[in-house]
Amino acid sequence: VLVGVGADGHLAFNAPSDPLRARCHRAKLSRGAREANAMFFGDDASRVPLEVLTLGMGALIQSRRAMLLAFGAQKAEAVKALVEGPLTPSCPASFLQLHRDVEVWLDVPAASALAGRVQ
């Protein structure tokens, strides 16, 4: 799987503090998620679907390989929680710590909150 992490730590539209579902499911998009995805719909958040089909956390964790992308300073705290934080539904991306083969691709701003980072 190839996924991005949201600034709030969501992963594949598995939102923070939502009950984590194991398999594919329908998810309602928050206003923030719709605004963040407006760029894919002519910069018009009203054209972004209200609901999506997405992989559940169990399916993501069981994938053979996972690649996560995070770019920009707005993702720095989510990346820190993903890499250094505890496993918690308040940061669904943190569950990637359980994955057997995951790569995390970051730019410098997204990595800026990590302990021991290279300047």
Q: Where are the domains of the chain?
A: 2-111
For domain 2-111, the CATH class is alpha beta
Task: Report the phi/psi class of residue 116: left, alpha or beta, with left for phi > 0 and alpha for psi in -120 to 50.
Answer: left
Q: Give residue for tokens 């194991």.
A: 22
Its pTM stands at: 0.85
Q: Reading across the β-sheet that carries 102-106, which strands appear in turn?
A: 2-4, 66-70, 102-106
DSSP code string of 86-113:
PPBTTBGGGGGGG-SSEEEEE-HHHHTT
d(CA 110, CA 14): 20
59-95 pLDDT, tens digit per residue, is 999 999 999 999 999 999 999 999 998 999 999 999 9
